[in-house]
Amino acid sequence: MKSNTLSAIAIDLVQSYGNTANNVIKASRVGGELISSYLEERYMRALASTGKALSQEARNNALATEKFVNSYYIKGITLATDGATAVVGSVVKFTGLGMSQVAANASKFEDKTGVTALNILAQAAVPAAIAVKKLAVQIEAKSADLVKVLTPESKAASAFRKARARRA
């Protein structure tokens, strides 16, 4: 069972915020990939509707250009979301370490001075911190649900995703 100290609750709260941020990042990535898939499907339909109006060479150039642009778009999404995930992970890690150190220093201060005002203040703040933590956990759960709804595995695979899987 986790401790109900203010520092332990605050660290859990930061971790919950980190999980929520990672869920939002995942949702952004999936959304970007869905946009890419939609645009590619639209492009392919538009190219198919041109029929014989385009020469085979023009059609091949158009396909190559679309693949080139789409690959850079996907690389951009991947780099941005991977970078954001790394930043969130570092912030959560170092914030937790900082909070642990502040709690340890507060305990040392109280031991040395005999003043227990910090401990009394921390005890008074625990109920409010628990309430905020419960709310953060609910938000985290809802953000995880959002990722599940948007995740392509939960939907029928598009022709684009099937083709991408075959190429990979």
Confidence of residue 166 (pLDDT cuts 50, 70, 90): low
Distance CA 122, CA 129 (A): 10
Interval 115-143 mean pLDDT: 88
Residue 67, CB half-sphere, CA atoms under 13 Å: how many?
Answer: 10
**Cβ–Cβ under 8 Å, residues 140 and 16:** yes
- Which pLDDT tens digit goes with each residue over 13-34? 999 999 999 999 999 999 999 9
Helix (H) or strand (E) holding 162: helix 159-167
Specify the pLDDT at position 1: 37
Burial code of 144-159, b = ≥16 C-beta within 10 A, e = fewer? bebbeebeeeeeeeee
- Which pLDDT tens digit goes with each residue over 72-107? 999 999 999 999 999 999 999 999 999 989 888 888
Q: How far is CA 12 from its chain centroid?
A: 18
